[in-house]
């Protein structure tokens, strides 16, 4: 790993594994969400057009569940790093829960959307939302009954890719935490970072589909690996 004291700009990519120890199911682990539900039934625009009730009920259930969960020590350690890191730092999360923010992190970008926002497909407004959408409530901005979960579905383009790629191009260090490397464009960021000269580190429970692209990979639970790594970084 490059000398820590040459590191100024950091990009951290997080996935479902960082929230697993808060009791939020990951997608591809045994018994994970995509074993319980078919992606084609709940996470594509086609599924929403075909059976909106099934899709809305799925996200209503997820939205309710995340509000009963608490950030874990991995979220807390990243929030501490965010508060204390003097250089550039961006937490790019694939997660649609709000646990990074509830732990206190501020420099967070949700590339796959957020459960606690509803998106009106009539007026394009995004509204804070903690309740359900199954009864097709009116949009708070325009009144249309055209709200959908503000989650990026398969086949849709992730959010704010320009900002993400600009940050990756400037990064001295790229760290991936709790993601399987199964989904692009997120899974391609490590190679982009390497090509821009960044050092790369993977913190994951097990080897991922992208482990070979990282300079260094550490295996273990995020609740242990992340606080230890943050201590290491802040002590240099
Ligand atoms: N600590 C660290 N890593 C963990 C832990 C843990 N406690 N528990 C699980 N993991 C790791 C798993 O080993 C796996 O590599 O987290 C990863 C989770 O992988 P996925 O379930 O595939 O989730 P993710 O990579 O975030 O999925 C990417 O796919 O389904 C879509 O849009 C959805 O954002 C999601 C995207």
pLDDT bin (cut points 50, 70, 90) of residue 35 is confident
pLDDT, mean over the chain: 95
Sheet harboring 199-204: ordered strands across?
108-110, 89-93, 10-14, 173-177, 199-204, 216-219
Length of the chain in terms of residues written: 236
How many angstroms is it from 145 CA to the middle of ligand 1?
33
67-115: per-residue pLDDT in tens? 999 999 999 999 999 999 999 999 999 999 999 999 999 999 999 999 9
151 DSSP β-pair partners: 113
Atom number in ligand 1 closest to CA 154: 32
Residue 223 has pLDDT above 80, yes or no: yes
Residues in Cβ contact with 76 at an 8 Å cutoff, skipping those fewer than 6 apart: 103, 104, 227
> What pLDDT score does 3 carry?
61
Site to probe by mutation for ligand 1, drawn from 22, 29, 176 as the one with most ligand atoms within 8 Å of Cβ, is 29
Q: Rounded mean pLDDT of 23-28?
A: 90
Residue 228 has pLDDT above 80, yes or no: yes
> What pLDDT score does 29 carry?
81
Judge whether 118 and 148 are in contact, CB under 8 Å: yes
Residues in the ligand 1 pocket, defined by CB under 6 Å: 15-17, 20-21, 26-29, 32, 94, 112, 178-180, 182-183, 204-206, 208, 221-222
Residues in Cβ contact with 12 at an 8 Å cutoff, skipping those fewer than 6 apart: 78, 89, 90, 91, 92, 174, 175, 176, 177
45-58: per-residue pLDDT in tens? 999 999 999 999 99
Judge whether 113 and 95 are in contact, CB under 8 Å: no
pLDDT > 70: percent of the chain:
98
């Amino acid at each position: 790993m490059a000398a820590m004291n040459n590191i100024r700009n950091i990009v951290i990519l997080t996935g479902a594994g960082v929230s697993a120890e808060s009791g939020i199911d990951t997608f591809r682990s045994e018994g994970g969400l995509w074993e319980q539900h078919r992606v084609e039934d709940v996470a594509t625009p086609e599924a929403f057009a075909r059976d909106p009730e099934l899709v809305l009920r799925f996200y209503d259930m997820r939205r309710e569940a995340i509000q009963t969960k608490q950030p874990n020590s991995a979220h807390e350690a990243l929030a501490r790093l965010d508060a204390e890191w003097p250089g550039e730092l961006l937490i790019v999360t694939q997660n649609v829960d709000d646990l990074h923010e509830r732990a206190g992190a501020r420099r967070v970008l949700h590339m796959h959307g957020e459960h606690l926002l509803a998106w009106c497909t009539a007026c394009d407004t995004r509204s804070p939302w903690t309740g359900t959408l199954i009864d097709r409530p009116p949009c708070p901005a325009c009144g249309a009954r055209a709200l959908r979960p503000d989650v990026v579905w398969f086949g849709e383009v992730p959010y704010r890719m320009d900002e993400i790629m600009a940050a990756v191009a400037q990064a001295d260090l790229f760290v991936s935490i709790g993601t399987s490397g199964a989904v692009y464009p997120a899974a391609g960021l490590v190679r982009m970072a390497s090509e821009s000269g960044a050092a790369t580190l993977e913190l994951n429970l097990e080897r991922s589909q992208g482990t070979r692209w990282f300079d260094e990979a550490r295996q273990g639970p995020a609740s242990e690996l992340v606080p230890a790594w943050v201590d290491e970084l802040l002590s240099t």
